[in-house]
C-alpha cells in the first residue's frame, strides 16, 4: 500500500469524467488499498479515484465508528462503478472536501439514497444509505463526474474558510469542521 498525493483545486484532473472499470482485478484491489490508506492518512471519510489522478470509477468510504446510527460505520466500503439508483428528501448540511482544503460549504443533498455498483471482488452490491453516508456517496459520485461541492453551492455566502484554532489565538469554541470527502 502507498499513500498517494491528493489533488487539490484548481487541478484540471479533478474535472475529468472518470471511465467505468471493465474488470475488477488485482490492480483495482491494489488501487483500493492505496485509496483507503490515502483517505485514512488525510484524514478523511471518503475518496474518489479522481482525487488521486486515477481516471477510473472507484470510490472508498469509511464513516467514523461513533456514527452509531449508521450500521456501516467503522468499516471501509469499496465501490466500483457506483450509480445513484434513487434519492429521497433534501437537506442542506456542512460539507468539506480533501481537494478543497481550508473551506467548508453548506450543500443541499438528498437525505436518503440507494447506490449500486460492484464491491472490491467484483460482486454486485446495493446499499441504502442515510445521513452522512448518503451525503458521502453523492459527494464521491460527483467527483467521478468531475463535479465538486463548490459547484452545487446556492451562493457565495454558502462557502466558509476554516479558521484554525491557532489563528484565533485561543481554543475554538465553534463546531468541529466536517470530515473531508
Burial status of residue 143 (CB atoms within 10 A of its CB: 0-12, 13-18, 19 or more): buried
Q: Label residue 131 left, alpha or beta by phi (over 0 means left) and psi (-120 to 50 means alpha).
A: left
CB of 88 to Zn ion, least distance (A): 23
Cβ distance to Zn ion smaller for residue 24 or 49: 49
Stretch that binds Zn ion, among 25-33, 75-83, 97-105, 170-178 (CB under 5 A): 97-105
181 binds Zn ion (CB under 5 A): yes
β 46-48/159-161 pair status: unpaired
- Tell me, yes or no, if 170 is annotated catalytic: no
Omega before residue 43 within 30° of 0, cis: yes
49 binds Zn ion (CB under 5 A): no
The SS3 assignment for 148 reads coil
Stretch that binds Zn ion, among 30-38, 79-87, 91-99, 128-136 (CB under 5 A): 91-99
Length of the chain: 181
Q: Which of 97, 118, 136, 144 binds Zn ion (CB under 5 A)?
A: 97
Which positions are annotated as active-site residues?
140
**Site for Zn ion, rule CB under 5 A:** 97, 181
Amino acid at each position: 500500500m502507498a499513500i498517494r498525493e491528493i489533488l487539490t483545486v484548481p487541478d484540471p484532473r479533478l474535472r475529468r469524467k472518470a471511465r467505468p472499470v471493465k474488470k475488477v482485478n488485482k490492480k483495482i484491489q491494489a488501487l483500493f488499498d492505496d485509496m483507503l490508506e490515502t483517505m485514512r492518512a488525510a484524514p478523511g471519510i471518503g475518496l474518489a479515484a479522481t482525487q488521486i489522478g486515477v481516471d477510473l470509477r472507484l470510490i472508498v468510504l469509511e464513516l467514523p465508528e461513533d456514527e452509531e446510527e449508521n450500521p456501516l460505520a467503522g468499516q471501509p466500503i469499496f465501490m466500483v462503478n457506483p450509480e445513484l439508483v434513487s434519492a429521497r428528501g433534501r437537506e442542506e448540511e456542512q460539507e468539506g472536501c480533501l481537494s478543497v482544503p481550508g473551506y467548508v460549504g453548506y450543500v443541499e443533498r438528498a437525505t436518503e439514497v440507494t447506490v449500486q455498483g460492484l464491491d472490491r471482488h467484483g460482486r454486485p452490491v446495493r446499499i441504502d444509505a442515510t445521513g452522512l453516508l448518503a451525503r458521502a456517496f453523492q459527494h464521491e459520485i460527483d467527483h467521478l463526474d468531475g463535479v465538486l461541492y463548490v459547484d452545487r453551492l446556492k451562493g457565495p455566502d454558502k462557502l466558509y474558510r476554516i479558521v484554525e484554532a491557532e489563528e484565533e489565538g485561543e481554543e475554538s469554541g465553534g463546531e468541529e469542521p466536517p470530515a473531508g470527502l
